[in-house]
Chain A
Amino acid sequence: MNAEIVATRFRFAVNVLPKDGILDPQGRAVEQSLPHLGIAGIGHVRVGRRVELAVDAPDAAAARGLVDELARELLCNPMIEQYAIEVLGAISAARGEAGG
């Protein structure tokens, strides 16, 4: 049962939000709807995007590095957006075992 672990599948979420100070008309629209719902005490609403993905990599640092690159190059426009990476979990894949 001592199968060699060749890669681990790491799951991440990348949360992309408009940068502070950037106009966020969606957030403003949500905020302006609150009085109609009779909800008080909520403010500073900002609407962004969440991207979930899985990465096969030898270790967590390598996986995170890839996600970081993807976020910088594609998922987020650094001129107008910022992102945060969230770790969702990992599943090890073993060679030569059922389901490996």
Chain B
Amino acid sequence: MSVRVGVVVFPGSNCDADTAWALARAGAEPVELWHEHADLAGVAAVVLPGGFAYGDYLRAGVIARFSPVMRAVAGYAAAGGLVLGICNGFQVLAEAGLLPGALLRNRSLRFVCRDVTIRAERVDTFFTYRVPAGRVLRMPVAHGEGCYYADEATLDELERDGGVLFRYADDEGNPAGVEGRDNPNGSLRAIAGVINAAGNVAGLMPHPERAADILLGSDDGMLVLRSLVESAAARAQDGPAIGEGGAARFTPRAAGMGR
């Protein structure tokens, strides 16, 4: 029986179908979660897909934050549930305060839509344990507001505590500078994705679901999605359902999955 993974659908989401397809490919049974319902239908993980939730009005992600489904997602995350935000989904998680930092307008002021190279800064998380250490990942970005920002103290704290999950890099895996082609949006410290201190909520600007088959130019995104789906499956088997008597006990490290 495959594990059920929720894909939130906001008005303006446009990567939900691709994300569901890629999750199914990673072994999950995708479940659409409509933004007006505060019910997560008992899923074992939640993905917030890319798009332009609520038209990106005011600031990308901010209006989605007040939707019924996000109240449920916030409670789910607080109880230890696995949540992954991709692109606009990352912006929603940042605006909701579930992840640190903010996504500003790209330094170039241009919408950037092309393949980038990122490296996983941690391969011991629910979202990355399938990524071979030292391997760079190729996947597309497509956003106008992806410039990761946090104040210096927060950035230092993230670096120290393992909060940086992905960084833009060159093909050899050397981290990108703030300027230059390897950093598509001018993100500080070339941060492409972050993970919360508890390790159960993560977000990234690149699109793993658009790198889900070699026919699409890369299937590196499957390393991320498989990590998530397998973590969700292991946790669902291992412990009580999230929000029904405590967080599940499964961790990639305990299961010998990390390196």
Stretch at the interface among A23-31, A55-63, A92-100: A23-31
Instruction: Please state if B186 and A79 are interface contacts (CB–CB under 8 Å).
Output: no
Interface presence of B133 (CB below 8 A)? no
Interface of A is mostly: mixed
Which single member of B58, B102, B105 contacts A79 (CB below 8 Å)?
B102
Taking a contact as CB atoms under 8 Å apart, the answer to whether A74 and B102 are in contact is no
A25 to B186, CA, bound (A): 10
A12-41: CB near B (< 8 Å → 1, else 0) gives: 000000000011011001000000000000
- Stretch of B9-17, B106-114, B160-168 at the chain-chain interface: B106-114
With an 8 A cutoff between CB atoms, is A80 at the interface?
yes
B102 touches A80 (CB 8 A): yes
Bound Cα distance A25, B187 (Å): 13
Closest chain B residue, CB of each to CB of A75: B58
A25 touching B106, Cβ below 8 Å: yes
Q: Spell out A's residues near B (CB within 8 Å).
A: 22-23, 25-26, 29, 49, 74-75, 77, 79-80
Contact A23 B149 (CB under 8 A): yes
| Contact across chains for A77 and B105 when beta carbons are under 8 A apart | no
Chain A residue nearest to B62 in the complex (CB): A74
Once the chains bind, are B59 and A77 in contact (CB under 8 Å)? yes
> Does B241 sit within 8 A of A, measured CB to CB?
no
Give how many A-B residue pairs fall within 8 Å (CB-CB). 33
Closest 8 CB pairs of A and B: A80-B102, A25-B109, A79-B102, A25-B105, A25-B107, A29-B109, A77-B102, A80-B149
Cβ–Cβ contact B59 & A26, under 8 A? no
CA distance A49 to B105 in the complex (A): 14
Asked whether A23 lies within 8 Å of B186 as measured between CB atoms, the reply is yes
Majority SS of interface residues in chain B? loop
What CA separation (Å) do A49 and B151 show in the bound complex?
22
Known contacts A23-B149, A26-B109: A80-B62 contact under CB 8 Å: no
* B107 in complex: contacting residue of A23, A74, A77, A80, CB < 8 Å: A23
Indicate whether B95 reaches chain A with its CB closer than 8 angstroms: yes
Interface size class of B (residues with CB under 8 A): 10 to 19
B108: which A residues are within 8 A, CB to CB? 25
B79 within 8 A of A: no
Alpha-carbon gap, A74 to B61, bound state (A): 11
Asked whether A77 lies within 8 Å of B186 as measured between CB atoms, the reply is: no
Q: Which residues of B contact A29 (CB under 8 A)?
A: 109
> Is B147 close to A, CB under 8 A?
yes
- In the bound complex, residues from chain B placing their C-beta under 8 Å from that of A77 are 59, 62, 95, 102
Q: Which residues of A contact B149 (CB under 8 A)?
A: 22-23, 79-80
**A22 contacts across to B, CB distance below 8 A:** 104, 149
* A96 and B13 alpha carbons, distance in the complex (Å): 48
| CB-nearest residue of chain B to A79 | B102
- Supply 15 A–B pairs (Cβ within 8 Å), ascending by A: A23-B107, A23-B149, A23-B186, A25-B104, A25-B106, A25-B107, A25-B109, A26-B109, A49-B58, A74-B58, A74-B62, A74-B66, A77-B59, A77-B102, A80-B104
Tell me if B150 is interfacial: C-beta within 8 Å of chain A. Answer: yes
CB atoms of B104 and A26 under 8 A apart: no
A72 to chain B, nearest CB (A): 12
* A49 CB contacts on chain B under 8 angstroms: 58
* Cβ proximity bits B156-189 to A, threshold 8 Å, 1 near / 0 not: 0000000000000000000000000000001000
